[in-house]
Amino acid sequence: MESVILNNNVLRDGHQSLASTRMRTEQMLPICEQLDNWGFGALETWGGATIDSGLRFLDEFPFDRLDALKKACPKTPHMMLLRGQNIVQYAHFPDDVVEAFVKTSADHGMNIFRIFDALNDTRNMKCAIDAAKAAGQQAHGTICYTNSPVHTVEKFIEMGVELEKMGCDAIVIKDMAGLIPPMDAFYIVKGLKEKLKIPVWIHTHDTAGLGASTYMSAIDAGVDAIDLSISPFANGTGQPDTTRMLALLKGHSRCPEVSEGQMASLREMRTHLEKAYGELSDFTGHKNEVIDVDTLEYQVPGGMLSNFRTQLREQKMEDKFEEVFREIPVVREALGWIPLVTPTSQIVGMQAFLNVKFGRWKQISPQAADIALGYYGRCPAPVDPEVQKLAAKQAGKEPITCRPVEAPGAEHKHMDDLKKELEAKNFPSDPEHCVIHAMFPPQLEAHLKGTNKPKPVAKPAETPKPTPAPETATSAGPQKRYGLTINGKRIEVGVEEVI
């Protein structure tokens, strides 16, 4: 069996998971030549939260970053995380906007589009898959791993087979919360390798301390590639560190051959990244750097746990923490055992809170109602019919079974509409600006008007950094709170972390 391929995620998921996606392009460029020459199978350089965060907090136009990184790393394939019909946002966008985003990204040098859907609804992935193929690039169909009675090894394998039939060039097992046990990883990978003709990759986090051992099991099962990072943007809520993983693989038949020069390069890159990590100290935290065993008990992303504790304290309900989290499986089951991944983990957490505070299903958040009614997509299991009736009554709309983007009465801005809006403001109206305007109109306008200039801070002097935005919590990623207004009072619980 061939050596396992090592990908590196330090320029995207590494700093998203451990430094709130705040690394600037100028902090990345000094290590780009070494990353490009090291021999990684792919470099994750874009997507996820980097597009939102870079524009919102760093005043960087997203395609400028992609251009700079592609120029600095021309040899190694670049990959990005794409949330299917949501692109890198939360709403569903019409097909022509998804297609334009993918084509434009490919034109700027993106090679691998890692495409997923929060509910594992392949209907929400098809347009992006087809667009990546049409652009002559790779579409990697991505399976969100989660634990539930309906999420079995067999079901994950079935989804992989379906994605291969849809034209995907590889299948990725995506374990955003770091929950996949080593033996689950072994049997899923083994089953996929037996059924598929395309490569199988795996992505996990070390949040619960399982990441590196999960990779070892996946490698034994024949996985083709794994995602790693470089300390200090590694381990904890990030991916396992490359040097650490190589030490674990030493003597293994599938360990890649690595020269002394490559090991020296990893040390040199780490030295630079430690400096960058220090510069981002306002956005890093010990809780993200260590193993969080609560993640295993509650089956939710680690960052959500700490935020939830804080918000329950703000609501003077800190004594209800255990009760709220015991309610999470109740909510998940009623909503068709949806995966706990952005944004569904925060929606489920919010609804669990409401159930404890007001009584079960007495108040349903708009987001939970939309899940129950099909507006996020097809749930893995049937939604509880009584909950669906209550959701329809509270939301004032009926359930749907079509693709959410095709819901009756849904209003979408197409590329022509976006172009006209930008032209009316005398802003650039090329496809790059149109697709960013579709997702982040206020942030793009502030960038174009020059009103979103980050303010440098005194510490450290050698590398200025943006002043933290007031809405930013301490966990990774640009965030938005889920809330509900009841009797004139706003209740906000749960922070959405962009993955």
DSSP string for residues in 44-55: EEEETTHHHHHH
Q: Indicate whether 275 and 344 sit together in one domain.
A: no
Work out the pLDDT band at 201, boundaries 50, 70, 90: very high
Do both 320 and 445 map to the same domain?
A: no
Residues 243 and 386 in one domain: no
Q: Which H or E element spans position 115?
A: strand 112-115
Q: Does residue 422 share a domain with residue 402?
A: no
Same domain, 229 and 280: yes
Share of the chain above pLDDT 70, in %: 90
Distances (CA, A) of 155 to 96, 129, 178, 189, 225: 31, 21, 19, 13, 22
Choosing from 242, 263, 288, the residue where a domain stops is 288
pTM, two decimal places? 0.89
Residue 33: domain span: 5-288
pLDDT beyond 70 at 469: no
- Measured distance CA(345)–CA(85) in Å, rounded: 19
Comparing CA positions, the residue from 43, 40, 50 lying closest to residue 15 is: 50
Q: Do 245 and 125 share a domain, yes or no?
A: yes
318/402 Cα distance (integer angstroms) = 40
Q: Is there a single domain that holds both residue 335 and residue 268? A: no
- Tell me, yes or no, whether 146 and 166 share the same domain: yes
Q: Is residue 158 part of a domain?
A: yes
- Residue 236 belongs to domain with CATH number: 3.20.20.70
Mean confidence (pLDDT) of the chain: 90
Are residue 48 and residue 191 in the same domain, yes or no? yes
Q: Is residue 498 part of a domain?
A: no
Q: Are residues 388 and 307 in the same domain?
A: yes
Query: pLDDT value at position 410?
Result: 85
| Per-residue pLDDT reduced to its tens digit, 446-466 | 999 999 876 543 333 333 333
The string of pLDDT tens digits covering residues 162-194 is: 999 999 999 999 999 899 999 999 999 999 999
Residue at a domain's end among 406, 438, 460: 406
For 40-98, the pLDDT digits (tens) are 999 999 998 999 999 999 999 999 999 999 999 999 999 999 999 999 998 899 999 99
Name 257's bridge partners. Answer: none
The strand pair at 479-486 and 200-203 is best described as: unpaired
Whether residue 435 is contained in a domain is answered as: yes
Q: Examine residue 295 and state whether it is found in any structural domain, yes or no.
A: no
Name residues whose C-beta falls within 8 Å of residue 251's C-beta, 6 or more positions apart in sequence: none
Residues 204 and 309 in one domain: no
Number of domains in the chain: 3
User: Is 496 contained in some domain?
Assistant: no
Within a domain: residue 113? yes
Q: Say yes or no: 42 and 170 in one domain.
A: yes
* Residue 221: other Cβ atoms inside 10 A: 21
- Kindly report, residue by residue over 328-382, the tens digit of the pLDDT: 999 999 999 999 887 788 899 899 999 999 999 999 999 999 999 999 999 999 9
Let me know: does 62 contact 46? Beta carbons within 8 Å.
yes
Domain-located, residue 463: no
Question: Do 165 and 190 meet the contact criterion of CB atoms below 8 Å apart?
Answer: no
Structural domain includes residue 361: yes
**In which band, very low, low, confident or very high, does the pLDDT at 300 lie, cut at 50, 70 and 90?**
confident
Q: Of 377, 406, 435, which one is at a domain's C-terminal end?
A: 406
